[in-house]
Amino acid sequence: MKEAVASVLPITLIVAALCLFLVPVSSGLMLSFLIGSVMIIVGMGLFTIGSDTAMTQIGSHIGAKMTKTRKLGLILLLSFILGVAITVAEPDLQVLATNVPNIDKTVLITTVSVGVGIFLMISMLRILFAVPLKWMLVVFYAVVFILAALSDQDFLSVAFDSGGVTTGPMTVPFIMALGVGVASIRSDENAKSDSFGLVALCSIGPILAVLALGFIYETNPGDTSTLIVNEFETSVALGKGYLEALPEYMGEVAMALLPIFAFFLLFQLISLKLKKRPFLRIIIGVIFTYVGLVLFLTGVNVGFSSLGYVLGGALVESSLKWLIIPLAMLMGWFIISAEPAVHVLNKQVTELSAGAISEKTMGLTLSIAIAGAMGLAMIRVLTGISILWFMIPGYVIALGLAFFVPPTFTAIAFDAGGVASGPLTATFMLPFAMGISTAIGGNVMTDAFGLVAMVAMMPLITVQVMGSISTLKSGKKTAQDIVSRFEDDEIIELWEVV
């Protein structure tokens, strides 16, 4: 709950201060936003508990069991099924699919889930056969940009955003645990580092799948936005709005979690056969996940996203239009610095660099990167510049760096893109951009969408730059320099050396 409060509270306070003193919004909408914020905090807290005690454990157990069979066909089939099932339940994807105009929600979720399933299979093959990640990234991103040049422009930004939102709090712990289990088949020294990179590859699958969808799916150009802005005139209407929304999201979340839960029960009966205590812990974790996800989605869709959309439009229509870019950068700074998964990433990088990159340095670098990404995203919304003018140079730099930094840093950098594009990016900043785009008469599909993709791209560069600095620092320190600090008869504690 403390992590959830740290993640949501800064944005809530910034927005509340803005609406109370500078930008007028209706009292009903403001109250709905505050209630939604509380629901999101409670929902994120419960969801995180459930994800840790259930989804991560399911992924770890199934991954370990799959490896013991040593049957490649079975590993690939189960990877595909699990990739599809876990992505359907991803809360960030649910929010994105609800907000995307012109594309049916079910069609988009199914397309993205199949893309993740296919690339989770490819990821398993990479781990099992020790294929270098950098070459796979170069090949697949080349295919992405070739398709992007040929695809419908309305699908372009949504496709890149789909890659960012699928690597969320549900998917990442699960597939990372799955990767560690499969990597245990190998006994070589690079097996552990090769377990990184799953998130990186699974982010490409949805991009390619949605771009391919653009060639066959007919959109309705008459739609401008599917985001429903909930305005409440009385407190009773506000209460009814939340109560009427709850059953809808209870049903949606039940259908989203059912496939992965049913698969786990089947696996438990046939092969896993966990003892009573760990089995019950997973069942309780699934219940926490369900309740948390229902509260999260209800709070987001009824109150939180609505105010983001209205606030963006109100800023354009007022004399405060100049505030849009710095405000977005400020919120981006707090979003990334409060993201719980970022702190885990920072610790990983500190350990891998033997302390050459501190957690503080890494955190500061990511905060600057995401603030910059938000600023660039707002420039896109205000000017209508194509997302390719940002994505192509960004990925060229990121893929170019992959040939000069240690492979583990490349894998972590591309995994970090999923960490950076957390729940608040999809739930508040994307509707904020949609409101701005609608108010200035822009194209929401091409201008507002792509914000999540911008956020996901920046860590690819910054983490690898940090890796380059780490390599340069460690290269200056030779083995002779380290050993010379000790006497000939002194026992050297290796962890003190590092």
For 314-325, the pLDDT digits (tens) are 998 887 888 899
pLDDT at 280: 93
Taking only the tens place, the pLDDT of each residue in 76-96 is 888 898 889 888 888 778 888
Taking only the tens place, the pLDDT of each residue in 435-450 is 999 999 888 888 999 9
Candidate ranges 107-116, 245-254, 459-468; pick with highest mean pLDDT:
107-116
- Give, in degrees to the nearest 5, the angle at Cα 212 between 206 and 215: 150
DSSP-derived secondary structure letter, 86: H
Taking only the tens place, the pLDDT of each residue in 295-305 is 988 888 888 88
Q: Which of 279, 335, 291, 341 is nearest to 54 (CA)?
A: 279
pLDDT band, residue 255 (cuts 50/70/90): confident
What is this structure's pTM?
0.79
**pLDDT of residue 497 exceeding 60:** no
**pLDDT of residue 349 exceeding 70:** no
Q: What is the rounded CA–CA span in Å between residue 386 and residue 442? A: 12
- Give, in degrees to the nearest 5, the angle at Cα 203 between 199 and 209: 145
**pLDDT of residue 477 exceeding 50:** no
pLDDT band, residue 225 (cuts 50/70/90): very low
pLDDT band, residue 221 (cuts 50/70/90): low
How large is the average pLDDT for residues 199-213? 89
Joined together, the tokens standing for residue 291 give 């309740």
In contact, 113 and 87? CB cutoff 8 Å: yes
Residue scoring higher pLDDT (230 or 25)? 25
Taking only the tens place, the pLDDT of each residue in 382-416 is 999 989 999 999 999 998 988 888 877 787 787 77
Longest dimension (CA), the chain: 81
Taking only the tens place, the pLDDT of each residue in 58-76 is 877 777 777 777 788 888 8
**pLDDT of residue 100 exceeding 50:** yes
Least confident segment among 46-50, 284-288, 470-474: 470-474
